[in-house]
A and B are shown apart, each in its own frame.
Chain A
Amino acid sequence: MAMMYSFFSLMTLLIAAFVVPLVSLKRERYIPQIAIASSFIALVFAVMTVPFVLQDGIIINQMEDWSAPYGITVAVDGLSMLLILMITFIGFLVTMFSFRFVKKRRTKYYALLMLLQVGLLGIAHTGDLFNLFVFLEIMSIASYILASYSRNAPAIEGALKYLIIGSFGTSMMLLGVAFLYGLTGTLNMADLAVKVAGISSPILPLALGLLITGLGVKAAIFPFHAWKPDVVTVMPASAGAMFSALSTSIGIYAILRIVFTVFSGSSPVLYYILIAIGAVTMALGAIMALQQRHLLRLLAYSAISQVGYIMIAFGVGGFNPLGIQAGIFHLFNVAMFETLLFLCAGIIKHKAGTYNMEKLGGMARFSPVVSYAFLIGMLANIGIPFFSGFSSKWMIYIVTLEVFPILTVLAVVVSIMTLLYGLRAYALVFLGNKNVKPGKVKRSMIIPVLILAAICLLFGVFPQLGFNMAAFVSQSFDNAKYINMILMG
């Protein structure tokens, strides 16, 4: 019998998030160890689920044996499995990184970090729209508080901005969910897909527009992206790494579930909107990254730009299935190299005391390992051969060339812009004559960075791994199978 061990990942982190404050009353110094152990157990549970998903394609759990669409459905297919693995893996590395990185208010930090993962994992597991909203709120509330972690004026301002814009987004999403429920009488995504296909009403595009707005805010796609650099820069870089890479991924995942599962095949108009938003997001992110002097802001805009590539790939995937695979592969790569770059930036701030690239320089001589890791991450980001971003970007070029050649031209131009700001950032921080002596970097901070750098190289040198993974995960976009498995058992 297929076992959904990955749900225990969520439960482990949820319990640990409440255990941590209790333990801190007596033994605060054990908090990081508890968090690392919980994250590792969550990762193990996630990995244990993989064979079942590989075997059955999708595993389903109906809560309390109430069958769909009446009960709460938890479903893990290839796409959600990939997200669950990414969340638990990056979660574990970030928690390990935080061990020596975060020294103040550890109880709150680790509890919130785990609640953030709980929200992300819940979104990846759920099979209905209302629980998706609930977990999105858990994720959002944890990240609002994490944004204000530093307790200084910029942190409070960033957190308030995100709180207001994020609340607007989730309100719009709830409104969209309410419209869909009013129209169809169900919230189960598989059941919604069946019912939506038989309805013709102007309320449907209205509900979809509200859902895209709500989830677009979380995914930081144009024109809902502006909050992201302001928020990511005030978070601790470790939390920022997880938040930036994973909240974006989960936002895209939720948009995909809505567009490809609930509204599957309704109209090619839906794919055009993904392409249009993706193209503007990709270009605008790169244009803004070119003009930054703050390293984290540059990385945040770079992340926004990469989300554009992913959106384009999935939009084109509506016309050519290879686009779906390209999008999946790039989604995975972006999460990995983005986390790597953010963690390297965290080390730089930790040791040099600033993110301002004007004040940094010459760090390669004192921290060669961090320098190489950052370079690997940036080369993957640019899409240089033998680094992970290249293969997925190449797939995007190929697939857009077949469908909309103008998008290929735009994607290549944006890649050149990525090269400009990426190498400039590396040169200014790590090369040059300034003597910024960062001191010795702790092993618990170096190991996660090295693991992520190794992954960027592994998927660059052996792109077959990524292609095979993307090919398997793309089977999740077989809507008929998803609906049948959930509604028929």
Chain B
Amino acid sequence: MIVRKKMGMDMDLLELHVIGAVFLLFVALLALINRWSSRYSKGKRSDTKKKIYAGGEDIRPTHMNVPQESFYYILIRSLKLDKFKQWHSGDLTRYLVWVFTGMVLIMIYLLFLWGM
């Protein structure tokens, strides 16, 4: 079902619908697994069990808060992503250096690859 060919567009709408359907099936499957697993769970029923993040364990609410900065600790530290945060320090001089350097690089690129 190729649509809108007359408008010069060869996007297959069916493709999007298939992806949507697969996504819905995936969500339905997760819901079923959740239902089955809760039926066979051996943990005691409690109020905290129903809370977010409890995951079937009895955890006190005070222990459930996830520290912001280290939420993706391994990802951020192992890939050194926190370096980028240091570059966005809020320092105006640093920002102006970024802007100026960017402008110079764009101009060099354009002059050498297009202008000459």
Chain A residues engaging chain B, CB cutoff 8 angstroms: 160-161, 164-165, 168-169, 172, 201-202, 204-206, 208-210, 212-213, 216-217, 222-224, 226-227, 229-230, 266-267, 269-270, 272-273, 284, 287-288, 290-291, 293, 321-322, 325, 357-358, 361, 384-386, 390-391, 394-395, 398, 420, 424, 427-428, 431-434, 463-464, 467-468, 471-472, 474
B9 near A223 (CB under 8 angstroms)? no
Given A223-B99, A386-B20, A467-B11 contact (CB < 8 Å): yes
Contacts of B107 in A (CB 8 A): 205-206, 209-210
Q: How far, in whole Å, are A216 and B15 apart by their CA atoms in the complex? A: 35
Contacts of B65 in A (CB 8 A): 358, 361, 432, 434
Contacts of A223 in B (CB 8 A): 98-99, 101-102
A210, A321, A385, A463 interface centre (most CB from chain B within 10 Å): A385
What size tier do the contact residues of chain B reach?
35 or more
Q: How far, in whole Å, are A161 and B88 apart by their CA atoms in the complex? A: 13
Of the A-B pairs whose beta carbons lie under 8 Å apart in the complex, a sample of 5, sorted by A's number, is A205-B114, A206-B111, A227-B95, A267-B113, A272-B113
Q: How far, in whole Å, are A291 and B51 apart by their CA atoms in the complex? A: 25
Given A322-B11, A398-B11, A433-B52, A428-B66 contact (CB < 8 Å): yes
Q: How far, in whole Å, are A203 and B75 apart by their CA atoms in the complex? A: 45
A433 near B61 (CB under 8 angstroms)? yes
Whether, in the assembled complex, B3 has its beta carbon less than 8 Å from a beta carbon of chain A, the answer is yes
Contacts of B72 in A (CB 8 A): 290, 420, 424
Nearest CB of A to B3, in Å:
7
Within 8 Å by CB of B4, from A391, A398, A427, A467, lies: A467
Please provide the 9 A-B residue pairs with the shortest distance between their CB atoms, ordered closest to farther: A205-B110, A223-B102, A209-B107, A433-B61, A471-B7, A205-B115, A293-B68, A431-B52, A385-B20
A212 near B106 (CB under 8 angstroms)? yes
CB-CB contacts below 8 Å: B50-98 with A? 51-53, 61, 64-69, 71-72, 75-76, 81-82, 84-85, 88, 90, 92, 94-96, 98
Nearest CB of B to A422, in Å:
13
A165 near B9 (CB under 8 angstroms)? no
A229 near B61 (CB under 8 angstroms)? no
Nearest CB of B to A317, in Å:
12
Nearest CB of A to B52, in Å:
4
Nearest CB of B to A466, in Å:
10
Besides A385-B24, A432-B64, 9 other A-B contacts (C-beta < 8 A): A206-B107, A213-B106, A226-B88, A229-B88, A293-B69, A322-B11, A385-B19, A394-B19, A467-B13
Contacts of B9 in A (CB 8 A): 322, 325, 467, 471
Contacts of A284 in B (CB 8 A): 84
Contacts of B7 in A (CB 8 A): 468, 471-472
Q: How far, in whole Å, are A409 and B3 apart by their CA atoms in the complex? A: 26
Instruction: With CB as the reference atom, state the residue of chain A lying closest to B61.
Output: A433
Contacts of B75 in A (CB 8 A): 290, 420
